Structure 1
Amino acid sequence: MNKLGVLTLLSIVVGGPAVGQTRDSHAGLPHLEKRGGATQLIVDGKPFLVLGGELHNSSSSSVAYMKPVWPRLTAMHMNTVLSPVAWETIEPEEGKFDFSVVDRLLEGARANNLKLVILWFGAWKNTYSSYVPAWVKTDTERFPRVQTSDGRSTERLSPFSTAVRDADARAFARLMRHLREVDGDTHTVLMVQVENEVGVIPESRDHSAVANAAFSGAVPSALMSFLQKHRTTLDPEFRAAWEAAGGKTAGTWQEVFGKTSLTDDLFMAWHYATYIEHVTAAGKAEYPLPMFANAALIRPNYEPGQYNSGGPLPHSMDVWHAGAPSLDLLSPDIYFNEFALWAGRYARPDNPLFIPEAQGGAAGAANALYAFGHLSAMGFSPFGVDDQGNAPLDLVGITNSSERPDNSAIGNVYSELSKLAPMILEKQGTGGVTAALMEGEAQRSARLYLGDYTATMTRAGGSSGAGARLAAMFIQTGPNEFLVAGSGDAQITFSTDKPGLPIVGIESIDEEFFENGAWVPGRRLNGDENSQGQALRLYASDLAQGKIYRVRLYRYR
């Protein structure tokens, strides 16, 4: 009996899918689902909040390196690990595949009760083609490179090459087929990122002959049709560039979008998106997990070519949606201070928020509360979570032990979020959860709205004083009752602008701790502890202590 026959027979015996079966045969496949006002990741029939962490780029290539890492990640209360899988690892010789590294990843994750998000390092990783097989790297005739304006080749495979695209797509499809065969029933792998932080540097576009010909040609009709259909909902910066050039419905790239470097960026965005669409569609034909592409963001005042020109940035998301409809979402990698601004630009009605890379530490803990509470994020993931412990410094990409990040704050916030996750997921779609974030010393207060109430958060003294990043998440459990989890030293007062009695008072504040599957009251805070009934005080140590607050409000004249 051939392999297909064996798998078909197995599927009958154990109730699982066989190779070649359709998407509908995977009834419990992880997928995205709109629930009220939020899009959520559904795993085994239930909403799932990804409390993630991304490994360093090369960590997953070594079973020995990962052996002590897995339990540390579990101890940080993660439920999901974002791990690269490199093209060179699974196809060291053309047409000969080796999935042993992938299988060891699955084994490690399962043994530690963790899920995985696979990051496909195919043709590109951070614009470069450093993870492609040697047989691709060394054959520059068959697999051409992006070229600079003076004709030099770069360390980047060309998105205009069908040979590159088709080889990449074949390898990715084989990876997805393997995941279906070994994980189609277990669902260890939840989502897949296709490529990593694509774009062109140090110039704003590819100047190879094929790229120049495409740039001089007409903007593809598929893109123009999409823009006209979605004109009123386009990103404002993108729409402004189009309309400033006359709002044309046909023409060359510079005729439609203007003679600026932004046009180069949009041009590359279309060609990266359509390339990745081909790869994504090939993978989904084998195993249709949710798939996404990620973006390296723009530093202040940087121009195309100084950043990853052509990546799925806010101003080009509509180009990507038009060019890569098989992608389920576009995601930001956020290391900059303006977290609320960047995350908010990706939390669009047509683009649910998932943050695959972010800074960790105390700032990351605050950002996670804000992302899940205010932006209905599906997941959050600080980068380099395998730094802690005794790993050799060179393996984690640093040279000084003092540079190791303190991930205890991430562990503390994930500990609380794991307990609150069922309520957060229930409330995300109904507006019953929100959060406030304060970033930088200049921001002295933040305001959020809770049903009939307004909460104003200001900085308080303590270890996380002026300049620290602070966040507070509110989960509404009744008309006048809220659970509050905070990160940092802050004071919160309450008011109302709704009809009725004008003054808001604090009926009670209780500390609560999660014990044996339930929230257990601690102290009833009154008098000095709640500013004589005027405020809720949050402390930087609350998360480390596993403490949240149950706040009950009332109104009077």
Structure 2
Amino acid sequence: MIRRRRAAACAALAALLAAAAPARAEPPRLVHSDAGWQLRVAGKPMLILGGELGNSSASSAAYMAPHWAKLRAMHLNTVLAPVSWELIEPAPGRFDWRSVDALLASARAEHLHLVLLWFGAWKNSMSSYVPAWVKRDQAQFPRVTLPDGQGAEILSAFAPANRAADARAFAALMAHLKAVDGGRDTVLMVQVENEIGMLPTARDHGPAAEAAWHAPVPAALTAYLVRHRATLAPELKRLWEAEGARTSGDWTSLFGHGAAAAEIFTAWHYARYADAIAAAGKAEYALPLYVNAALNRTGKAPGDYPAGGPIPHLIDIWKAGAPTLDMLAPDIYFPNFSDLAGRFARPDNALFIPEANNAGAPEGPANAFYAFGQLGAIGFSPFSIESIDAKPGAIADSYAVLSQIAPTLLAAGPGARAGFRPRVLEDGTVLDQPQQAEINGYRFTVSFVDPWTPRAEQTIAAHGGLIVATGPDSVLIAGTGITVTAEPIGPGDPLAGIESAWEGTFDADGRWQPGRLLNGDQTHQGRHIRLPLDTVSIQQVRYYRYR
């Protein structure tokens, strides 16, 4: 009786959601134009100001209930939320959409969008989110075999039954989303699996995997390597060319006998698996789909980190093996944010950062401004966003500003904007030298050490911002803890002066609401623009030339 009542309630909610969904021909999509990559929703470009929920939060509507309004108050426009296979398919072919429909209803109530994360065959390499009927039937749903013959709690990518069951469930999810959200655009994108990668070795050693390891490298991969030879990731190019840049042979003859070759093999087969899941989903509902990457660190061998995921040196393998995917996206928890994010900002890959460290990280605003201003990111999202809703702090302040300047930023092409943050090395060393960019006829120099605050009191790695052109001699400067000077470039008078510098905000209708007209001590008597520490702010600045 209880089960029938729950099923009836679930059907009623799904019917309500479907009835409320107006028809629209085009779902959200990724577009590449002169302005770079953009996510377009209802035909208009959008920046995702997101936050990803903790892994288990979305499994309980009651747990999430007090968080939704707080997330909206933090100026998010999108929440990244897991959908776990074990919850939606408790028995083979029987689907339960209550958890998904609760996410949709709650997000809509706060006028928020969703990016759904498919926790299917793999989550952080492991297969802990698969249904019990998959976990218990290892004969039908084989696991990875380690070199010593022991099994691992990781479904094998070489098992057709694993792929078929995963694809069927994902396709059902996408069909449900089309039925209840098509035209509403609550869901913007869907992540396929989560941080795919092989642990604790570079490859599977089961019978099917061994047969594939000794088989010829697929012609589709070698053709891609030849076609993209000039732009391959340096690590991949060196490895392939060290073996003579061959176009036929098995994996060892093309890439060598070490763990690096085994990782390329793993990456190809993971990519082919993910592509099959994505194709099944897109056949039902053509939303943008992506796979996220758990990144590697210098000096670590494949298997020390999740081997074979779409990490920087393997992006080309994934592009060759998974053409159905729209993006490959980095989860960045290491200090060298700008270096890592830059590896994923490619002409063939829109930059989306689904996990930009933890939500309370002090460098979050600087990373966000750099990603949007310099790399043209379509979205930015710290992890475990609900954990900081009591004290939203810096990320909420940065999102308040970014939401105001998003229309200006989206209208500016790569040459009309730039982002700035100190470069931080993998070991945490902060390189705080000033940086320069040429925008709108001026060369801007951005310094990260505040001149009016003792250096010991500054967290320089958290300083950053962006500059975007708004008209002749005019720019918008936003961020925190930066000092900006300008000099003209090209013909004309050689010196630049500050005609005016207004602090202010944009209202909900996009109209500029000026605050103070800054001068005197606030601009160091016209010498520079300063965005103070411990706050995130916007200034509209107009320059003039003189000699």
What TM-score does the superposition give when structure 2 sets the normalisation length? 0.91
Residues 231-268 of structure 1: CA deviation (Å, up to 9, x unaligned): 22222221121111110011111111122211111110
1:389, CA displacement in angstroms? 5.0
**Structure 2 partner of 1:345:** 343
1:430, CA displacement in angstroms? 5.5
Q: Any stretches of 5+ residues in structure 2 without a counterpart? A: 1-15, 425-429
**Structure 1 partner of 2:402:** 417
Give 1:450's match in structure 2, choosing from 439, 460, 484: 439
Distance 1:316 1:55 in 2: 27
CA RMSD of aligned residues (A): 1.8
The letter for the 2-side match of 1:375 is: L
Check conservation: 2:29, 2:288, Cα contact below 8 A. yes
Check conservation: 1:507, 1:554, Cα contact below 8 A. yes
Structure 1 residues 531-540 or 444-453, which shifts more? 444-453
1:127, CA displacement in angstroms? 0.1
Residues 409-433 of structure 1: CA deviation (Å, up to 9, x unaligned): 1111111111111111111x35322
Matches within 5 A, 1:365-376: 365-376=365-376
Q: Is the aligned partner of 1:520 residue 2:510?
A: no
Give 2:417's match in structure 1, choosing from 424, 427, 433: 433
Distance 2:493 2:30 in 1: 42
Task: Report the identity percentage.
Answer: 50
**Structure 1 partner of 2:106:** 108
**Structure 2 partner of 1:550:** 540
**Structure 2 partner of 1:403:** none
Q: Any stretches of 5+ residues in structure 1 without a counterpart? A: 1-9, 18-25, 391-405
Check conservation: 2:27, 2:182, Cα contact below 8 A. yes
The letter for the 2-side match of 1:549 is: Q
- Structure 2 SS opposite 1:286: coil
Matches within 5 A, 1:450-469: 450-458=439-447, 459-460=449-450, 461-462=452-453, 465=458, 467-469=460-462
- Structure 2 SS opposite 1:484: strand
Q: Is the aligned partner of 1:490 residue 2:482?
A: yes
1:452, CA displacement in angstroms? 1.8
Distance 1:90 1:473 in 2: 42
Matches within 5 A, 1:58-457: 58-359=56-357, 360-361=359-360, 362-389=362-389, 407-427=392-412, 429=413, 431-440=415-424, 441-457=430-446
Check conservation: 2:21, 2:181, Cα contact below 8 A. no
Distance 2:386 2:300 in 1: 31
Distance 2:128 2:349 in 1: 29
Check conservation: 1:511, 1:525, Cα contact below 8 A. yes
Distance 1:315 1:439 in 2: 21
Structure 1 residues 130, 14: CA separation in 2 closer, same or farther (over 3 Å shift)? closer
1:442, CA displacement in angstroms? 3.2
Q: Is the aligned partner of 1:499 residue 2:488?
A: no
1:516, CA displacement in angstroms? 5.9
The letter for the 1-side match of 2:493 is: L
- Structure 1 SS opposite 2:530: strand
The letter for the 2-side match of 1:31 is: R
Distance 2:303 2:21 in 1: 51
Residues 43-86 of structure 1: CA deviation (Å, up to 9, x unaligned): 11111111100000110110100100101100100010000000
Residues 257-311 of structure 1: CA deviation (Å, up to 9, x unaligned): 1222111111100000000111100000001100000000112321111111010
Structure 1 residues 103-112 or 27-36, which shifts more? 27-36
Structure 1 residues 517-526 or 153-162, which shifts more? 517-526
The letter for the 1-side match of 2:376 is: S
Distance 2:508 2:211 in 1: 66
1:519, CA displacement in angstroms? 1.4
- Structure 1 SS opposite 2:381: strand
Give 1:472's match in structure 2, choosing from 443, 465, 468: 465
Residues 317-346 of structure 1: CA deviation (Å, up to 9, x unaligned): 111111111100100001111111011100
The letter for the 2-side match of 1:156 is: I
Structure 1 residues 46-55 or 204-213, which shifts more? 204-213
Check conservation: 1:542, 1:548, Cα contact below 8 A. no
**Structure 2 partner of 1:399:** none
Distance 1:52 1:14 in 2: 25
Structure 1 residues 35-44 or 289-298, which shifts more? 35-44
